Amino acid sequence: MDPDRKNSEEVAEPLLAYRNPECLESTPARTLRIVAEYVEPQTRLRKAGVQNTVVFFGSARILPRDVAEEKLRAIENAGGEGGSKPSRHVLRQARRDLEMSRYYEDARELARLITRWSLAVSSQGRFLVVCSGGGPGIMEAANRGATEAGGKSIGFNIKLPMEQKPNPYITPDLSFLFHYFFMRKLWFAQPARALIVFPGGYGTMDELMEFMTLIQTGKIGHHMILLYGSRWWKTAINFRWLLRSGTISEEDLRLLRFVDSPSNALELLKKFIRRDRTVRAFLQRAVP
């Protein structure tokens, strides 16, 4: 080979290992990806001044009231002018969706009340920041209520086979996307001071049981768990039967509080926070 030609050819510079996608997405680099899902959220939350959160869980399928009303109206009117009459099943589902929409509106109102209280305690609103899973339904309602109150809110979204886009009410610099469920759960738990759980499905039950187990076994400090919608929860899970069966204790049952209105939930949260030394240490003055 002509040495002059060899010297004139540019030699491609190798990629640094931490900039090499092939390396970072490989099986041996899984540990690095896990660490990244700890370090990156930690850095961003610290930069935003977030230290304490109130986490909202609940179904992604629960609709806002106006959307549920419009859906029911469209179904009821579908049979007019020669159109096909909707089935009883479809009509029953639409009426159920409208009934369940009260939980969306209550979550929205509760998040608004919590955020207003947080802003009253600390002008920057970082005293307690509303946090959700970042998707639709109850998650959207929580972020929406916080935004409407003029505060920030967090969305911890998860990459799923079925696409789940971040809802539009999350504070942009507090919108996160996780690959690993367990890292997402860690960030739900670590800065949380309270968990408010609305009616939901498998994902909601999973998060609730995870929190209850962590508190029961002393793996995380004392957190308040509020189950919103006492009738729904006591129908979905027979907690008293677990107690009578001897599979849980009275002390385990006391980990839970049932609430049925945003104002009642806020008052219980306030009482709990006033007793929480960790949160009080964050403030320069007493919690009202």
d(CA 108, CA 123): 21
Class of residue 164 by CB neighbours under 10 A (exposed 0-12, middle 13-18, buried 19+): middle
Q: What is the pLDDT along the chain (288 residues), one digit of tens a residue?
A: 565 555 556 788 899 988 999 999 999 999 999 999 999 999 999 999 998 999 999 999 999 999 999 999 999 888 666 667 888 999 999 999 999 999 999 999 999 999 999 998 876 667 899 999 999 999 999 999 999 999 999 999 999 887 678 999 999 999 999 999 999 999 999 999 999 999 999 999 999 999 999 999 999 887 899 999 999 999 999 999 999 999 999 999 999 999 999 999 999 999 998 887 666 665 555 555
Long-range contacts of 89-94 (CB under 8 A, 24+ apart): 94/68
pTM for the model: 0.89
* Residue 121 confidence (pLDDT): 85
d(CA 263, CA 157): 28
191 CB contacts (<8 Å, ≥6 apart)? 45, 50, 51, 52, 53, 131
d(CA 287, CA 121): 7
* Residue 130 confidence (pLDDT): 97
Backbone dihedral angles phi then psi of residue 152, each to the nearest 5 degrees: -90, 160
Residue type, 66: D
